[in-house]
Amino acid sequence: MRLRDIIAILLNIALLILGICWGARWYSPMTFIHDFENLRPLFMLRFQRMVTAITIGGSLSLAGLILQAVLRNPLAEPFTLGLSGGASIGAALAFVLGFYSKWVFAVPIGAFLGAISTLIIVLWISRCGRNGTESLLLSGVIAGTIASNVLVQILSFAQNEELAGITWWTLGDLQGTDPRLLWPGVVLLFAALVMFRCMADKIDAIALGEAQAFYLGGNPRKLTVVLVAAASFLAAETVAMAGIISFCGLIIPHIVRQCFGCIHRHIVLTTALWGAAFLMICDILSRCISTQHEIPIGVMTAVIGGPLFLWLLNKQHHA
């Protein structure tokens, strides 16, 4: 464990405590300890929300890091492969067809199926990346565009009430996450961390190109498929938990690479930790700027992440 990771973990713990104390009303940690029985519902609510932020922030950043390395494209994001489109179609269908009112799990499952089937189509069109990463990325972008058009079509079929649900869902929502989905998400994040750490050297190699990956002892096609599938799984899980949250998967890997280098065995954990911290900060701001009227988390990440990304890009350009 490196010093910077310990610092990042401490920062995460500090943010977790801040997020539990701060909300519609401030309670000091001491109040929570002394009066826990009364504050239990509030504690559980805020605790769960912060864990959701940690899980989603970590998963999205990791997925972004891996997709960028595998596709050798710094602009790749969990959603560049059209996953967001696929997931939102699945979710929207679950809303519109009325499955949601019958079964809570229908929306996340719909989102998941949508994302996975988009992935399969994209991988199939690009022959599992055999035609080069450009074709993979291009298929992804096109699938995403088609999906968003289909989404508009579905939205126009929906009644007002359902429409509101879908529209807001596409901007992300951390408080609605079902606890039955949250803990599997946490497990998945840890599993992904271990997996990516074990494959870190291979990820370095594939980031250098398919030829290099092969000469350094890897099987580039298998690596691409396994890593892209794992990253998509993470991304689909976050979509299922909280809808579409942009920018997190794009800027966190950028910042981490800029600050700590590109060697993946050094930055896998760091990326997850910074992603978690970033989303916690965004969430705390989104619910504490105006306590009654929440700012959607997706708006918050875009407002903070967008300018940050442009600044980074500019700085890189001048360097």
Partner 1 sequence: MNKLFSILLLFALPLMAQEERIISLSPALTELVFKLGKGRQLIARSEPCDYPPEVKKLPVAGRFADPDMERILTLRPTLVITNDLINPGVRTVMENAKIRCVQKQCRTIEEYVEWVKLLGDVLKCPEAAKAECERVEREAKPLPKIKRKVLWVIWDSPLMVAGAGSLADGLLQRVGVENIAGNVKIAYFKSSYDWLLEHQPDAIVWTASKRDNLKEHRFWGNLKAVKQGKVVMLPNNDLVQRPGPRITEGYKLLAEQLRKP
Partner 2 sequence: MPDSPNNQTALRADNLSFAYRDRPIVRDFSLTLVPGDLTVLLGPNGSGKSTILQLLAGRLVPQNGDVLMDGAALRKLSGTQRASKIAVVPQAAPPVFGFTVYERVAIGRRARLSPFTKFTEEDEHDIVEAMQIFDVERLADRACNQLSGGELQRVMLAAALAQKPTYLLLDEPTSALDPSHVVNTVQTLRSLLKNTAVLLITHDIELAANAAKRLVLLKDGAVIADGPPDTTLTPENLTTTYDCKASIKPSVSFF
Which positions lie near partner 2, rule CB under 8 A? Answer: 69, 72-74, 197-201, 204-205, 207-209, 211-212, 214-219, 257, 261-263, 265
101 binds, among partner 2, partner 1, none (CB under 5 to 8 A by kind): partner 1
Q: Which residues contact 283 (CB under 8 A, 6 or more apart)?
A: 19, 49, 50, 53, 174, 297, 300
Min. distance of Cβ 55 from partner 1 in angstroms? 17
Residue whose CB is less far from partner 1, 81 or 107: 107
179 binds, among partner 2, partner 1, none (CB under 5 to 8 A by kind): partner 1
Residue 110 near residue 93, CB atoms below 8 Å = yes
Residue whose CB is less far from partner 1, 134 or 178: 178
Phi-psi region of 296 (alpha: psi -120 to 50; beta: other; left: phi over 0): beta
CA-CA-CA-CA torsion sign (59, 60, 64, 65) = negative
Closest CA to 246 of 94, 88, 13, 50: 88
Closest CA to 148 of 163, 126, 170: 170
* Phi, psi angles (nearest 5°) of residue 65: -55, -45
Residue whose CB is less far from partner 2, 127 or 180: 127
> Please, what's the b/e burial string for 57-68 (b: 16 or more CB within 10 A of its CB; e: otherwise)?
bbbbbbbbbbbb
Residue that is written with structure tokens 């291979």 in the block: 202
Min. distance of Cβ 83 from partner 2 in angstroms? 21
Residue whose CB is less far from partner 1, 258 or 291: 291
Residues that bind partner 1 (CB under 8 A): 23-25, 41-42, 44-46, 48, 100-101, 107, 156-157, 159-161, 164-165, 168-169, 173, 175-176, 179, 243, 287, 291-294, 296
Residue whose CB is less far from partner 1, 148 or 175: 175
306 binds, among partner 2, partner 1, none (CB under 5 to 8 A by kind): none
Q: Which two tokens stand for residue 160?
A: 């007002």
Residue whose CB is less far from partner 1, 28 or 160: 160
Residue 25 DSSP code: S
Min. distance of Cβ 68 from partner 2 in angstroms? 8
44 binds, among partner 1, partner 2, none (CB under 5 to 8 A by kind): partner 1
d(CA 68, CA 75): 7
